[in-house]
Structure 1
Amino acid sequence: MLNLIYRERNTSILPAGPTDFRKQIEGLAALVSLRYHLDPYSPACVFLFCNRKKNCLKALRFDKDGFLLATKKLLPDMVFQWPKSKEEIRDITSQQVRWLLAL
């Protein structure tokens, strides 16, 4: 399912540090805009967020007429490798996204 959300996208943005997973589409779009000064309506971007435990991922994408939000939760004892600094924003390649989602 997450493969469909980043298909045909040029850029995947990986905000570092944990994200409050109580946020839904509006909260995540506001976070992208206000904290990271990026355009959540960019048709070429997928924004990936990780929770504090690093065992759950959310992907946010604008798709012509609205937002898509998908979630992936890992099995117990598995975690995503995620940047630690909250101020860092990582732009990762589509191959790196495939590796991230292949866990």
Structure 2
Amino acid sequence: MTDLYNYDLTAHNTFGINARCKRYVAFDNVEEAQSVLPSLVASGEQLLILGGGSNLLLTADYNGTVVHSRILGVQSSDDGADHVLLRSGSGVVWDELVAQCVAQNLH
């Protein structure tokens, strides 16, 4: 888990515009998320939830906590009929997941 203050969000900002946040908390698994999220919610601090980081445009600093899920992994199960169940981590990049599904003929 990562917990930083006055964090530079440029790498997460779609157009690379310089912006910072008051606090940045990133977790890599469900257990880390479960340990940190209750205290963040209870604090009353403004929260911005960040997944893969695409489609985010900050034009100024964010005066709150950015919560970044880095939970990866994709699982699929085929029921033998015409259905495939996908389960993905909240940090999986949507475009990459769709491309993987197309490549594996899961559409």
TM-score (norm 1): 0.24
Query: Which structure has the greater CA radius of gyration?
Result: 2
TM-score, structure 2 as length reference: 0.24
